[in-house]
Amino acid sequence: MIDERKQHILQAVIQDYIASAEPVGSRTLARKYDLGVSPATIRNEMADLEMLGYLEHIHTSSGRIPSSKGYRLYVDSLLPVQPMTDQEKAVIDKWYKTKVQRIDQVFQETAKLISKMTKNVSLVLAPQISKAAFRCMQFLPLDDHRVIAVLMTDAGFVENRIMEMPDGSTFEDFQRMAKVANGHLAGHTLEKIHTKSLKQIEAVIGDSGLYNSALDLISNALTSDRKERLYLGGTTELMAQPEFHDVNKVKEILLMLEEDQLMKDIIRSHLGDGLTVSIGQENEYSGIKDCSIITATYHLDGELLGSLAVLGPTRMEYGRTMSLLNYMNQNLNEVVKRLNW
Amino acid sequence: MIDERKQHILQAVIQDYIASAEPVGSRTLARKYDLGVSPATIRNEMADLEMLGYLEHIHTSSGRIPSSKGYRLYVDSLLPVQPMTDQEKAVIDKWYKTKVQRIDQVFQETAKLISKMTKNVSLVLAPQISKAAFRCMQFLPLDDHRVIAVLMTDAGFVENRIMEMPDGSTFEDFQRMAKVANGHLAGHTLEKIHTKSLKQIEAVIGDSGLYNSALDLISNALTSDRKERLYLGGTTELMAQPEFHDVNKVKEILLMLEEDQLMKDIIRSHLGDGLTVSIGQENEYSGIKDCSIITATYHLDGELLGSLAVLGPTRMEYGRTMSLLNYMNQNLNEVVKRLNW
DNA sequence: TGTTAGCACTCCACTTCACTGAGTGCTAAC
DNA sequence: GTTAGCACTCAGTGAAGTGGAGTGCTAACA
């Protein structure tokens, strides 16, 4: 374990680098921070820290920058507590009191708020719709051979989808089905419907051939690709960061962010209890080797529902971001609980 | 009017500049294009064209670049016909045959397709939902004092919105209202409902106090800010263009694109019959003085429904883009007609 | 009279060079 | 163990020089 003075120096280097985005030299450090030793001593210590892998060197005569390992130690043990200011909390609280017009706005606006306050990209993974309790469904006729299925969960999430009607079926069949489904399935989570109440419904409906093919359609449509929605925020904030002053880098990361599935996988792979920080090289996906991701998860009754994440350069204000994410997470948790998702 | 040789030279300059993004010199022109005259003559002609305002000069000894006026002449009279290749058409046709899961995907994917094929930003303005024929509505109870209104148009557009219930009203009131509304309003466009059938409904419902406040809510909710939706595509394509190699420029334009209302206004101000091209300085909004916008509008029964647009640097492949936009427009027009929007 | 060759000139882009400043590593003295 | 001193490194900057692509002008040519 490295001694206390080294820790102080490492902490100072990282804080300075986070603030300035410039490699940090021994003289600067001695001047700005009250370390009580001369630049020469700091130089020696920094050389040691480099040997140990906590700092890096671009070239012989430039200051040090933190390595992933350095950030890791910083985040794990050296992070100064940075609670949110009352003002910041007020901004957030105020937003959560305004009324939304659709449930998904909660998530979209949460993403915007996070990115605005952290100046980084934010990602919000909404709860899987299949975890929500089924409230009711309805079919609306679109044309001769297509209907639109509209489904609502207890939380107020409304999903609609165009469905082809199986040959020989009529719109009335669908209506009948909806009626039975609404009677029998209300309150069950979508993911459990398949295994649970289907038998009952089958018994009631009788006409099982049509029924089966239609039900397949429904369950496919409603639990397929879009089961968790990803809301993005702050893709333009990114460009204010000096590490993204190169258009190609920006393009690369924006293209990555557009790939819904990839981003979901990345977030999911990082999830843990509470806040998780994944720093630079620690990331498995090579496109973000010089980025860090902080994730937070929200639960209901112990079950994981969704998560929030901030993606930014490794040179990130970890303390502030973590506090913020934590606070937003609590808020979102409450909203979800209130909606009885 | 400028003579034919000048026109040829202007055309060559513009085509070369569009292809290379580099100022065009007389020698290059003489070498690449079969103009039948020497560089010196071309120089003289180019000097004239500059005098007339069709070309510009960055500095004394660099080639010419087209001015907005130059592009304007090019677009209006010199544009070589550039029909789409069968291959391109095939790509588009193929896409329009695939099935969509929700109606709004038609517009979203149209935007994507346009931007992919033009390497520029595309904007698709979907028809105002208020122009669509009302199919049916339904209320779903969210909690004690809120309901979710779900509305569907004949075209299959589904819109949902959370509504506060007025004091003293019950969910049953809303259901009753929906029933009456569904009976009386089906087939009417939303924008005409207000003035047309309300009296009838009022007579049927009777309880006019509650009814009025609720109806206000509904019509507000359904015809308010989101009445036309804007779908964006290709914001990352932008970054491949040399004129956007500067992060600040990219940021500026992305921020602009994020402002829904502004973009709608810009598009709307450019609309005309058929294809409209607005070039560089001709644009009123200062943020896009070095961009061009091409718009196309689609109609139903002579009424304007929505529009497509491509936004890119003035150095744009006008011919190709216009053909493409035209073709996409036809497709979209057909889709809308088929949906009987 | 229109076209062209020739030439002087301009200016960007690139390279080279020297210089500066911030930084390091090492050594010797404290 | 700490520090002062010193030689050294290297990015960044600015000045000077060069080459190349281009222009404008003039004079000769058809």
Model pLDDT, residue B142:
82
Q: Is-contact A98 A109, C-beta < 8 A?
A: no
For A62-80, write each residue's pLDDT tens digit.
889 999 999 999 999 999 8
In this predicted structure, which of A24-38, A151-165, B167-181, B204-218 has the lowest mean pLDDT?
B204-218
Which strands sit side by side in the sheet containing A291-300, from one edge to the other? A230-233, A121-125, A303-313, A291-300, A276-279
Nucleotides of C under 7 A from a protein CB: 3-6, 9-12, 21-27
For B19-46, write each residue's pLDDT tens digit.
999 999 999 899 889 888 989 999 999 9
Of all protein residues, which has its CA closest to the C1' atom of C11?
B61
Model pLDDT, residue A127:
83
User: Bridge partners of A232?
Assistant: A123
**Mean pLDDT of all residues in chain A?**
85
For A1-26, write each residue's pLDDT tens digit.
688 899 999 999 999 999 999 999 99
Q: Which residues in chain B are contacts of A151 at CB distance < 8 A?
A: none
For A313-324, write each residue's pLDDT tens digit.
999 999 999 999
Model pLDDT, residue B84:
93
Does position A31 have pLDDT exceeding 50, yes or no?
Answer: yes
Q: Which residues in chain B are contacts of A223 at CB distance < 8 A?
A: none
Does position A213 have pLDDT exceeding 90, yes or no?
Answer: no
Does position A226 have pLDDT exceeding 60, yes or no?
Answer: no
Q: How far is the CA of A116 from the C1' of D13 (A)?
A: 37
**Which of the two residues, B4 and A168, has the higher pLDDT score?**
B4
Q: How far is the CA of A43 from the C1' of D13 (A)?
A: 27
Select from A68, A69, A20 the least CA-distant residue to A289.
A68
What percentage of chain A carries pLDDT values higher than 90?
44
Q: Is A161 on the interface with B (CB under 8 A)?
A: yes
- Quote the pTM value: 0.89
Q: Is-contact B266 B232, C-beta < 8 A?
A: no
Please give the span between the terminal C-alpha atoms of chain B, in angstroms, as a whole number: 46
* Backbone torsions φ then ψ of B174, nearest 5 degrees: -65, -40
Rounded average pLDDT over A196-224? 60
Q: How far is the CA of B321 from the C1' of C3 (A)?
A: 38
Select from A8, A32, A30, A9 the least CA-distant residue to A20.
A32
Q: Read off the pLDDT band of B225 (50, 70, 90).
A: very low
Does position A225 have pLDDT exceeding 50, yes or no?
Answer: no
Do the Cβ atoms of A247 and B236 come within 8 Å? no
Do the Cβ atoms of B250 and A247 come within 8 Å? yes
Model pLDDT, residue A337:
82
**Which of the two residues, A205 and B110, has the higher pLDDT score?**
B110
Model pLDDT, residue A162:
84
Model pLDDT, residue A24:
93
**Which nucleotide is at minimal CA–C1' distance from B50?**
D23
Q: Is B235 on the interface with A (CB under 8 A)?
A: yes
User: Bridge partners of B139?
Assistant: B149
Do the Cβ atoms of A161 and B101 come within 8 Å? yes
The helix (run of H) or strand (run of E) holding residue A303 is strand A303-313
Does position B153 have pLDDT exceeding 90, yes or no?
Answer: no
Q: Read off the pLDDT band of A111 (50, 70, 90).
A: very high
Q: How far is the CA of B245 from the C1' of C22 (A)?
A: 31
**Which nucleotide is at minimal CA–C1' distance from B64?**
D22
- Residue A2 carries which DSSP code? -
Sequential DSSP letters for A17-86: HHHH-S-B-HHHHHHHS--SS-HHHHHHHHHHHHHTTSEEESSTTS-EEE-HHHHHHIIIIIPPP-PPPH
